[in-house]
């Protein structure tokens, strides 16, 4: 068996999960689970979501320092449309935290949750984001999630999946369920 | 805060993750992570994959009994095409194990990993699968993953996401990476 390289990815890529279907943040969390199985360290930065009563935060407390999740927004509810202007400040704080985290190189994988929405609605400057992504440390994997990933982001990403909604129970009137949707 | 119902989902649905993009099994794993944050119990049954050196199995050993993963196939490598006839036996064993697990009601969420492929290639009878899904206990959530989910399966599912490949690094000659793809 090859020796396990515990702390460094040989080749960190840029992944994007976008589209209107369920599974974007969820896939990023699955990736986190798999990665911590190999002793990598994962940091999730939530750009727009602010609800602390979610399964991923509960479990992350038991998995720290392997998985840490950071929120910057006070809003418990964010629907899928255009974020309010009040998100500007918290998105800015999340971005600053990301820059610091990236520079520190403490994590192997950094998940930028809902950053696509933040860029799409111009809460972040797409060219500034791309400049940072292009110059990321080689050993760090970045995962960008959220609807409406801009073309410029897709262009520089290595892996892009569009989660396409075929059917969703919300349209049958079923509300978000604890342990499943959050 | 509402009292946490630790052991029962009020309403278990049927979810399907299909399509040719990355993120199907990964989303199911993310769902597992989130669910165990709420103290639900999750069982993943891998119908076609047989590699034990994967991050999700490594981490599941630390999370048992909240997350358990079961494989029935000896084949370490399964590519995305038609499974060999030798899979027939292991898929049958996986299906039998699923029926037993479903009847025991020990888990809140059961992930049937790659079952879509198994049905598509007629290693399982679609009508038999549907009969079981239709009569599942109300409190259990079922997650079906794999490419090429048959129409009949999509029809009875509550939530369906198609993971659509937009870009994949394999096409740039980058091989599957530990901690990311497995």
- Any domain includes B7: no
Q: How many domains does the structure of chain B reveal?
A: 1
**Which one of A17, A141, A180 has the shortest CB-CB distance to B141?**
A180
CATH number at residue B138: 3.40.50.300
Alpha carbon of A80 to those of A86, A132, B24, B166: distances in Å? 15, 26, 22, 22
- Any domain includes A48: yes
Q: Among B33, B142, B168, pick the best mutation site for testing chain A contact (most A Cβ within 10 A).
A: B33
- Any domain includes A182: no
- Any domain includes B178: no
pLDDT of A5 reads: 47
Cα distance from N-terminal residue to C-terminal residue, chain A? 38
- Any domain includes A179: no
- Any domain includes A180: no
Nearest to A61 by CA among A44, A78, A40: A44
Q: What residues 79-98 of chain A have any CB closer than 8 A to a CB of chain B? A: none
pLDDT of B172 reads: 77
Q: State mean pLDDT over A63-82.
A: 83
Q: Which residues, given as ranges, of chain B have pLDDT below 70?
A: 1-7, 78-80
pLDDT of A7 reads: 63
**Structure-token pair, residue B33:** 């992570």
Residue A175: which pLDDT band, with cuts at 50, 70 and 90?
Answer: confident
Task: Dump pLDDT digits (tens) for A115-137.
Answer: 999 999 999 999 999 999 999 99
- A56 contacts: CB under 8 Å, gap ≥ 6: A29, A44, A69, B33, B34, B37
Task: Dump pLDDT digits (tens) for A7-38.
Answer: 688 899 999 999 999 999 999 999 999 999 99
Please, what is the Cα angle at B104 between B102 and B105, to 5 degrees?
70
pLDDT of B18 reads: 98
Q: Among B6, B163, B174, B181, pick the best mutation site for testing chain A contact (most A Cβ within 10 A).
A: B163
Please, what is the Cα angle at B17 between B50 and A67, to 5 degrees?
75
- The total number of residues shown for chain A amounts to 182
pLDDT of A1 reads: 44
Q: Quick check: A30 and B35 CB within 8 A?
A: no
Range of the domain at B108: 14-74+83-172
- Any domain includes B9: no
Q: Which residues of A touch B28 (CB under 8 A)?
A: 30
Backbone angles phi, psi at A45, to 5 degrees: -110, 115
- Any domain includes B106: yes
Residue A95 has pLDDT above 60, yes or no: yes
Residue, of B112 and A79, whose pLDDT is higher: B112
| Per-chain mean pLDDT for chain A | 91
**Rounded Cα distance, B115 and B21, in Å:** 16
């Amino acid at each position: 068996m090859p020796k396990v390289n515990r702390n460094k990815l040989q080749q960190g890529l840029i992944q994007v999960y976008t589209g209107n279907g369920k599974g974007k943040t969820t896939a990023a969390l699955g990736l986190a689970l798999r990665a911590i199985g190999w002793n990598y360290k994962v940091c999730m930065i939530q750009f727009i979501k602010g609800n602390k009563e979610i399964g991923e935060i509960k479990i992350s407390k038991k998995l720290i320092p392997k998985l840490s999740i950071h929120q910057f927004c006070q809003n418990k509810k964010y629907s899928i449309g255009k974020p309010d202007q009040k998100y500007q400040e918290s998105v800015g704080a999340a971005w600053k935290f990301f820059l610091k985290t990236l520079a520190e190189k403490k994590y192997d994988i950094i998940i930028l949750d809902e950053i696509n929405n933040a860029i799409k609605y111009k809460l972040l400057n797409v060219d500034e984001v791309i400049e940072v992504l292009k110059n990321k440390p080689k050993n760090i994997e970045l995962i960008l999630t959220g609807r409406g990933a801009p073309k410029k982001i897709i262009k520089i990403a290595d892996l892009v999946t569009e989660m396409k909604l075929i059917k969703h129970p919300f349209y049958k009137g079923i509300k978000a369920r604890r342990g499943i949707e959050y």
